[in-house]
Structure 1
Amino acid sequence: MNLLDDRVLSIEVIETGQDLISIPDKHEKLVLDHDVELGYENEFVARKGVVSRLIQAANRLPFGTCLSIKETYRPKEFQELIFNRRASRLSKLSEHSGKSELDIHRLTSQFIAPPEVAGHPTGGAVDVALITSDGNELDLGCNYDEDEQASNGRCFSFSTDISREAQKNRQVLFNCMRMAGFVNYPFEWWHWSYGDKYWAAVTGASNAIYGAIGRN
């Protein structure tokens, strides 16, 4: 299921009012990655229910393996900026000459979530990876945030064009996140969410519980 599926777009949000809280930076199995360049200051905050589930997921990891937190809450204004910027770039490429505005919207949505359904601005989505306790990244098939072209499709969660080691590591990651209640966006192995529209559509929930929020 992709983000432009009618089952996602039609989901109603009934907001719980849960606050954004900080992800603990002293937890032995959670590591905040301050080296990721995002274009804005990453505060490493998420909804309270998401943070508790991240801790649950991290605690399920085998000894010597930690959950690396890459990105959490993303300001909705920045989501709109990066979506519109990519759409503008795609519309100017010669191979997309003559494509309609709707076609460009769909192409853009393949890698950047449309603002109306994006999980990060709700505080319900997180990007994660696995590292060793001494800080070495585990092989998960491709680098974090590589799109389909850059990764040759290895960014897809169920790509078979990855090593056995990467397959094993993905299984470890997927097991701990699923058991904590998260759902994965299958076009990006690193992207997981709870409580947003995509989560509701995948799990069959009657509504999303987190909508986009602003920060003062």
Structure 2
Amino acid sequence: MKPYQRIAIAECHEPLVELPEQFARVIPHPYTKLGAPYGDRSPFFVRQGILDRLLIADSHLQKLQPGWKIQIFDAYRPVAVQQFMVDYTLKELVNANGLDLDTLSETQREEFQQQVYQFWAMPNLDPATPPPHSTGAAIDISLLDETGNTIDMGSEIDEISERSFPNHFENSDLPYHRHREILAKSMISAGFKRHWNEWWHFSHGDQIWAWITNQDEPGANAIARYGRV
């Protein structure tokens, strides 16, 4: 169990709502394109409170970089999709290292799984420990410039490497850290917290948000208000 999974959840029963056209989307959606089992669900839904905060973040972004847009890569993600993508990512990572998933030793499998779980939450049906995206409170996002071109953030979303760590380019002359900070400042201004390993992942009101809040503000005693939906 990861430390944030010990955070209590007091579900507020806020509805899932669709993200408006104000926010650009990655189309076709990367996981549905792979065959991820969304069923009648959509990856472009969030809790109402998350949408409200996204609108605040977008207003702040316009002050920092007029004309830039938040682009939604992924938002709501059922546990079945989480399982599908963890399995897919593990297989891709193993194959990229010239190995075959079916012939791995137990030690090798565990090592590759640990790499995957640095960036992907473990699929879990226990309501006390939901994967963050299954709560509707977590979003994966990037930026577009005023002409609609993708801003280069230094790594692709979901890239399994140290380049995905938020501060990886902090001491570089390349513009990636500045781009990441523009995104982070916009989101943090609206109350979001950024995942420690993923420049693209932000949330509010889930267990990760509460855990980071308690790390940043000792004595805050924050708990989650969004569980799995």
> How high is the TM-score relative to the length of structure 1?
0.82
Give 1:133 shift: 2.5
Matching of residue 209 in structure 1 with residue 220 in structure 2: no
Give 1:110 shift: 1.5
Q: For residues 59 and 48 of structure 1, what CA distance do their matches in structure 2 show?
A: 17
Instruction: Write the letter of the residue equivalent to 1:69.
Output: I
Query: Quick one: structure 1 residues 100 and 169, their matched pair in 2 at CA, closer, same or farther if it must change by over 3 Å?
Result: closer
Matching of residue 37 in structure 1 with residue 30 in structure 2: yes
More helix by share: 2
What's 1:21 paired with? 17
Match of residue 97, structure 1, among 86, 100, 105: 105
Helix, strand or coil at the partner of 2:51: helix
**1:110-153 deviation digits (Å, cap 9, x = unpaired):** 221112442111000001101112210112111222221xxxx2
Q: For residues 147 and 88 of structure 1, what CA distance do their matches in structure 2 show?
A: 12
Q: Map of 1:58-137 to 2, 5 A cutoff?
A: 58-61=58-61, 62-84=65-87, 86=89, 93=101, 97-99=105-107, 106-116=114-124, 117-137=130-150
Give 1:206 shift: 3.4
Contact 2:24 2:71 (C-alpha < 8 Å) held by counterparts = yes
Q: For residues 84 and 29 of structure 2, what CA distance do their matches in structure 1 show?
A: 18
Give 1:100 shift: 8.9
Unaligned runs of 5+ in 2: 125-129, 215-220
Give 1:202 shift: 0.7
Helix, strand or coil at the partner of 1:69: strand
Q: How many residues align?
A: 202
Contact 1:141 1:163 (C-alpha < 8 Å) held by counterparts = no
Instruction: Write the letter of the residue equivalent to 1:33.
Output: V
Match of residue 181, structure 2, among 171, 175, 188: 171
**1:30-86 deviation digits (Å, cap 9, x = unpaired):** 212223421346441100010111111111112121111111101122112333555
Instruction: Write the letter of the residue equivalent to 1:18.
Output: E
What's 1:157 paired with? 166
Contact 2:132 2:207 (C-alpha < 8 Å) held by counterparts = yes
Helix, strand or coil at the partner of 1:199: helix
Contact 2:91 2:101 (C-alpha < 8 Å) held by counterparts = no
What's 1:192 paired with? 202
Q: Please, what is the CA RMSD of the aligned residues?
A: 2.7
Percent identical across equivalent pairs?
28
